[in-house]
Structure 1
Amino acid sequence: MSESTTADRLAEPAPPVSRRTGVRADLVTVGVALLVIAAAAGVGLYYNRPDSGVVIYAFVPPLFGNWLPHVGPGSVFAVLIAAAVVLQGPALAARLPWRRALAAGYLASLAWIFSLAMVDGWSRGFAGRLTTPQEYLHEVPGITDIPRFLREFSSRILDFQPNSWTTHVSGHPPGATLVFVWLDRLGLHGGAWASTVVVLVAALIAVAVPVTLAALGRPEAARAALPFAVLSPGAVWLGVSGDGLFAGVTATGIALLALSTAAFRARRGHAWPTALAAGVLLGYGIFLSYGLVLLGVVAVAVVILGRQWRAAAFAVLGALAVVGAFAAAGFWWLDGYHLVVERYYQGVALVRPYSYWVWADLAAVAVACGPAVVAAARRGVTAAFLPPTRRSLLRDPVLLIAVAAVLAILFADSSGLSKAEVERIWLPFSAWLVPATALLPTGHRRGWLAGQAVVALAVNHLVLTNW
């Protein structure tokens, strides 16, 4: 899609940002976030003492993992890729032809995710990630009849049964496991192939986020956000976890929804198939993870910005088709959801304290987002709600999409169904905070990108992340 097409403006152009405007407030905001992270770490370490009487099951609070300072075969490459994106990313994103910029962003994201995974080594960091006893691939050999698998899925969700599903299979709808079953049926057996597909899909976030902004009338913001979509600390968990796959699938669905609104405005023939495809991907998303129903907040934001309700109608049809297909095959989403909530409190969630995780989760997601996104979120809130910079929230995709992502995270946090591990679980939500980075002053973007890289490299080299 050309920029001349996407520049059918719905949003008022953002005023130029002064290089000095708000920088001190940005740094104060990041400082406050660091204090919250430090508090979460301190309280968590206290709770981890044998005599505390509290169990949080997180040994590097607020992150889920184990302390293990280490280097690996991906270390040098990760540093070099980070340096290249910091030094050249903003300039290349600004001057390359649009499609080449997107292609470069995708390849850079792919290299960044893979190099971080390889810090932990080929087996521990990549090929073996999805083969542990609690992961999806553990169940794949036993699934020989897909219709039967779907009919019986709900009956095996609860724990303490002879045939209970493993942790990740039981904790998600059957769509997640089906992806890996289909890969196996295609001859792509084992952990290496599964991890490769996950990373290939997860890297689509670096395309989907800028494409969405451009399709909604902010191509200059799309170019500004592109390097930040690449160099995200969340890449530590994109490679390799099922949630990376979920984030890539749903981000692509959101991007297709935005593209369909632009296509309807331009009266293009592919408008309705694009909207239908968006609905299918987003509909399948809720069969990857129950919590992804909250991405409906972001989808609604895109429809409001695009002002094309025909796109919404076709997307809803696509999503309902997916729901209907699963129901016809024997799995009803609401039944699975209620059972998985019961299963959730059969495990560590029963003892993990909500009073701690309700705020420590926000510290964990701040680490996964990085300082640039934290500062950008402060700018977004200021621009949307506070004078004198207040702009129309419903006309600017940079603001409304970021606000929608914040709401999705707050809803997920308050539910109490994500106590810990949200640096991974909330990747599909945190990806949509990245548009706010377009609000960062041009002259400071390299510095913020460097901060993103430092956080990712520090976490990956100091912590052995789980799952």
Structure 2
Amino acid sequence: MTPSTPSTPAGASPPEASPPDDARPRGRGIRWVRRSEALAIGGIAVAILLMVLAHVLPKELDWTVRSRNYPPLHATWMPRTGPGTPFAIATALLLLVVGERVARTWPWRRLLVASAVAAFAWMLCLALVDGWAGIADVLESDIEYLQTARQVDDVGATLREFVSRIPAGSEGQWPVHVAGHPPGALLTFVLLVRLGLGTGGAAGIVVMVLAASIPVAVMLTLRILGAERYARLAAPFLVAGPAAIWMAVSGDALFAAVAAWATCLLAAAATARRWWAGAALGVASGLLYGWCVFLSYGLLLLGVLAVGVLVAARAWRPLPWAVGGALVVVAAFAVGGFAWWEAYPVLVERYYAGIASERPYSYWVWANLAVLGFSAGPAAGAAVALAASRLRAIRDGGALGVLVVLAIAGIAMVLVADVSGMSKAEVERIWLPFVPWVLLGTALLPRWLRLPTFAVQLGTALLMQHIVFSQW
């Protein structure tokens, strides 16, 4: 059985038109491969240097950066092992040995299933380093959504009073995470409670299952747009890496899953052959994108990714349908009593009235990128360098153009979020919806570098999970 070949979007050349990135052709090709090797190694080195400096400088220079005792992560130094340790190590070794071969050779559908299972297993093993508490206790924290969700018995009243309870010191003020997000985040957990999944353990498993679907959605997006080969090359990096530490049992992982499937549906809409199918898929995509904006204020930046999908597909037909779907969500919340545009300024005021005012922008504007190195892994440095070096491919189209435009969209979302000043610290979880798209650039790694780079990713995850403790 051989993998099926996706149809090619209108205006794009077939995947075979792009030369293999791991080949070593003569002449200019050899120079390009050597350049790619230098870019990849340099990108990883820069990422690691940023990670080291962001951790060492505050301690050595006595900077007050307000990130617990392991800057730049919002985490605590806590070396430990636990029940999940041997399973996490075994899973890492198995992924390292077979991951690349499976991604290249398995039939497509089987690969998608294997990717979801492997992603779930990786998250589960890492979480279980702290035993069952690593799953069950996180969402039970008093800063999270679940405790508040259990108290909601009138959704309409919750929406109507939501903005008035955002300010610090207000009557009945929301807990930190509830106040820091639009009500869609809280309502998602309200739904879990009403479905009988309102315990920390049950909600945690649901979050991990959804998070495990993210690699599937991202790979499907690439395949739909005619870039299956690059989806396969990026697959190991999408499935397993340090991000799994925060993907497991994090509300932001749930947000990332919704964003990934919204993007996949938009790609399907852009390549649909029948207008009605494109319209239906476009509306469905818009509904999910709209819901994303009510999960996290920062996910308004997904508009950059949506435009990237349409550029990659060379098709703008789904745009009005997607916008219409998103506006339905906006209108529904407004009718229910919550206006996003009224809430955001209130949130900004609370954000800067609290710890954000004590976190120096001059540090966090670059330390956030170091946090991305911890979360997405040092391979993110290589992914950024390689994608940025192939910008011309966007104009040329084809499978390579698809890959590059989506990777650049991921990078752009991170940069805009970073300079905004609304993401000072804690981006190991806040930027989870952007991480898979940034990591698409790993598909451009030269062949001999893929395995050692993947080993660095897995090693970083194992090390960080065993030496620091994060509350999410």
TM-score (ref. length: structure 2): 0.92
Match of 1:407, SS state, is helix
Query: Equivalent of 1:14, from 2, 18, 36?
Result: 18
Q: Return the match for 1:460 from 460, 465, 472.
A: 465
Please give the per-residue CA displacement for 1:245-303, whole angstroms capped at 9, x wherever unaligned. Answer: 1111111111111122122xx33753322221111111100100000000110111001
1:311: how far off? 1.6
Aligned to 1:42: 56
Which amino acid letter does the alignment assign opposite residue 5 of structure 2? S
Show the counterpart of 1:108: 118
Shift in Å, 1:7: 3.6
Cα gap change, 1:55 to 1:377, in 2 (>3 Å): closer
Paired residue secondary structure (1:428)? coil
Counterparts of 1:46-445 in structure 2, within 5 Å, are 46=60, 49=62, 54-123=64-133, 125-263=134-272, 266-267=273-274, 270-384=277-391, 392=395, 396-445=401-450
Q: Give the letter aligned to residue 100 of structure 2.
A: P
Per-residue deviation, 1:44: 2.3
User: Any conservation in 1 of the 2:150–2:198 contact (CA below 8 Å)?
Assistant: no
How many pairs align? 455
Identify unmatched segments of 5+ residues in structure 2: 25-32
For 2:123 and 2:8, the matched residues in 1 are separated by 31
1:107 shift after superposition: 0.7
Deviations 1:384-443 (A, max 9, x none): 16xxxx663765111111111111111101111111011110010122112211111233
Unaligned runs of 5+ in 1: none
Give every structure 1 segment of 4 or more consecutive aligned residues whose post-TM-superposition deviation is greater than 4 Å.
none
Amino acid at match of 1:202: A
Give the SS at the match of 2:317.
helix
Identity %: 43
Could you report, residue by residue, the CA deviation over 1:280-334 in whole angstroms, capped at 9, with x for unpaired residues?
1111001000000001101110011112222222111111111111111000001
Q: Say if 1:233 and 1:453, in contact at 8 Å, map to a contact too.
A: yes
Structure 2: distance between partners of 1:77 and 1:268: 49
Summarize the Cα distance change of 1:157–1:55 in structure 2 as closer, same or farther, 3 Å threshold: same
Q: Give distance in 2, aligned partners of 1:58 and 1:446.
A: 34
1:161 Cα deviation after fit: 2.1
SS at match of 2:172: coil
1:23 aligns with 2:26: no
Structure-2 separation of matches of 1:423 and 1:11: 37
Matched residues in 2 for 1:129 and 1:358: separation? Answer: 28
Cα distance between partner residues in 2 of 1:410 and 1:11: 30
Distance 2:396 2:299 in 1: 24
Question: Is contact 2:394–2:405 with CA below 8 Å preserved after alignment?
Answer: no
Q: Is the partner of 2:169 in helix, strand or coil?
A: coil
Counterpart of 2:432, as a letter, is L
Q: Which amino acid aligns with 2:449?
A: H
- Give the whole-Å Cα distance in 1 for the aligned partners of 2:383 and 2:310: 23
Deviation at 1:337, TM superposition (A): 0.8
Displacement of 1:56: 2.0
Measured on the aligned residues, the alpha-carbon RMSD in Å equals 1.8
Which letter maps to 2:415? L
